[in-house]
Amino acid sequence: MVLSPQDKANVKAVWEHVKGHEEVYGAEALYRAFLCDPQTQTYFAGKDLSENSAFLHSHGKKVMCALTNAIAHIDDIDGCMSKLSDKHAHELMVDPGNFDILAHHILTVLAMFLSQLLTCANHRSVDKFLSCVKNVLTSKYR
């Protein structure tokens, strides 16, 4: 998946409105993933995944801030997510299908909170960006 210059500009334009709200967006996306696709919960054994839990909010913030950082380094997503890629492949061993699920819920949350901004073109570009992130985070599976 290759991001065109227009894709990069579209993703950046959308993310300008996500910055500073990573916790809210991330918690909502994770909550929906855990609710709609309960198999995603299996990686979080022992954590409180309820709607207002401290874990859901802090983890949601971490995930979305990682995306904010990837967008700040959009020409080197591989390099800036390398450590996260090691962690998801070697330590967490997250089944790759779960990345599509989370991407779906992140897009849903963007559509909820930023409906005007999520034009077809912006939707497509963010979708492509999340596919790039998936490719990087699943690139080190043995």
Task: Write out the residues near ligand HEM by the rule CB under 6 A.
Answer: 40, 43-44, 59, 62-63, 66-67, 84, 87-88, 92, 94, 98-99, 102, 133, 137
Q: 27 vs 67, which CB is nearer to ligand HEM?
A: 67
Q: 99 vs 116, which CB is nearer to ligand HEM?
A: 99
Record the tokens describing residue 75, joined without a space: 């020409």
- Least separation, in Å, of the C-beta of 95 and ligand HEM? 8
C-beta of residue 102 within 8 angstroms of C-beta of residue 31: no
Q: How far apart are CA 139 and CA 142, in angstroms?
A: 9
Angle between helices 120-137 and 5-15 (to 10 degrees): 100
Record the tokens describing residue 87, joined without a space: 């962690």
Q: 35 vs 92, which CB is nearer to ligand HEM?
A: 92
Question: Following DSSP, what letter does each residue of 10-42 receive, concatenated?
Answer: HHHHHHTTTTT-HHHHHHHHHHHHHHH-GGGGG
- Least separation, in Å, of the C-beta of 3 and ligand HEM? 15
Q: 16 vs 100, which CB is nearer to ligand HEM?
A: 100
E strand or H helix at 71? helix 54-72
Q: What amino acid occupies position 43?
A: Y
- Least separation, in Å, of the C-beta of 136 and ligand HEM? 9
Q: How far apart are CA 126 and CA 64, in angstroms?
A: 13
Q: 91 vs 116, which CB is nearer to ligand HEM?
A: 91
